[in-house]
Structure 1
C-alpha cells in the first residue's frame, strides 16, 4: 500500500467513456465508469480522478498524475492496427480511442506507473505496434473468456517466474474476465508474462519502466484481492516522491 506519514495520497487517473445515461430526472450522454474502479483505487490507498475521453492528453498536461489506469470497455477500431473489422467487432468509439492512445503515450513518456485493464491492455499493445485477435473464440475454440452478456468468466492464469505480475499474484491466480478479443502480435518491448490454459495472453509488461503492467482480466471486479491495484498505488507513491525530489533540486 502507499506510504503513510508526510507523503500525499497518490493521484490515479482512470479513463472513462461516453454513454447515453439516465440519472435523476435527466437522460443525456455522460462520461461514465464502473464505480468498482474508484473503489479499488481508494481501497489501495490512492485517490481516483476520472479522465473523460475528450481533451488534450499530451504529456505536458498530465504531469500531475502519479499513476494511470486504462479501463476496460468497447473494442478498439481495428484500423489502428491495420485490419478490417471482423463481423463481431463493435462500433468504433474514436473519441475514446484518441484519448486513451494519447494517455498511454503520455504515461510512457513520463514513466507514470500504468495499469492497463482488459481493453486497456489492448490499447497498450497496439500503441506499441502490436495487433489483436479480433475474435478469440475462433483462435481458442471456446467462449470461456466471455461466457455470455454481462457475465464474467473465470480463468486460471499462470505467470512467468521473475515477472512483475508473478511478484504480485504468485505462480498462478484465478481471475475474472470478459473479452472476445486478445493480444496477437506483441508490441515493441512488451513481454507476455501470464497466460491462460488455452494460451491466451493474460498479462504483459514493459521492461525498463517503473511499472507498466497490462492484464486481460478485470481485477477491479474482485474486491477481495486488491494486490494489483495495491502494486499500482505503491508505484505511484514512489513516482510522486521522485517527482517531488526533481522539482526541489
Structure 2
C-alpha cells in the first residue's frame, strides 16, 4: 500500500520542515505539528506554494490536551495515519560539565525528547493501526550511541551535552521496545541520526543542510513491507541508509 498521510512534529522549520517537504513531494498529505499554530500555518502555506498538500495542526508534545486535540483533528480529516515522524526536540547550550549541568534543563529535555515522543506515539496509535503499512520514525542523534561514546576514535568522544545525549539514548530504547511490540501490527519503528545539521538548535553553525538531515527519516518513513524495523540509521554521502551502533 502506498502511504497517503504523514504527521511530523516540530515541523515549522529546520529538519522537520525538510522532512515534510520531501514527503509531500512524494505525494503524501503532510501535517505539520507545531507548538505555535501561526508558525505552522506559515510553513504550510510555503509548502502549498510548492504544490504540496500541507496542513498545520497545533501540537505541543509536552501537553497531553494539545496532543489529544491534534489526534481529534487528524481523525476527523483523515480517519487514519500512515506515517508519524517524532521530530520535535529540545537541546540547551553546552553546560560546563555534567557535575554542574542543570537538572531542571535535563528534565525539560527528557520531557520533550523522550516522554513527548512516546506521548504522541501512544496517542496516535489508534490511527496508525488503521493504516495497512504504518511507519514510526524517531529523531535520535549520533550523540546517543553508547558504543561511540566509549570509543576514543569516535568524533563524539569529547562531546559533552550529557543530558541531551542521555535523552536520545533513552529514546533509542523506546524505539526498540515499540518496534518489538508493534511488529504484530505490521508497524515498523526506527530511529534516525540526521548527522550534524545546521539549524536553529545548533546555532545555524557547522553542518549540512536540513534537506540532507531529513533524508534518513524520509527513507524509513517510506520503507517498503520488507524494510527494516528496530534499527538506528543515518545516511551516507551518497544517500544510502547506514546502520548505526546503538
TM-score by length of 2: 0.42
Higher strand proportion, which one?
A: 1
Higher helix proportion, which one?
A: 2
Higher relative contact order (CA 8 A, sep 6+): 1
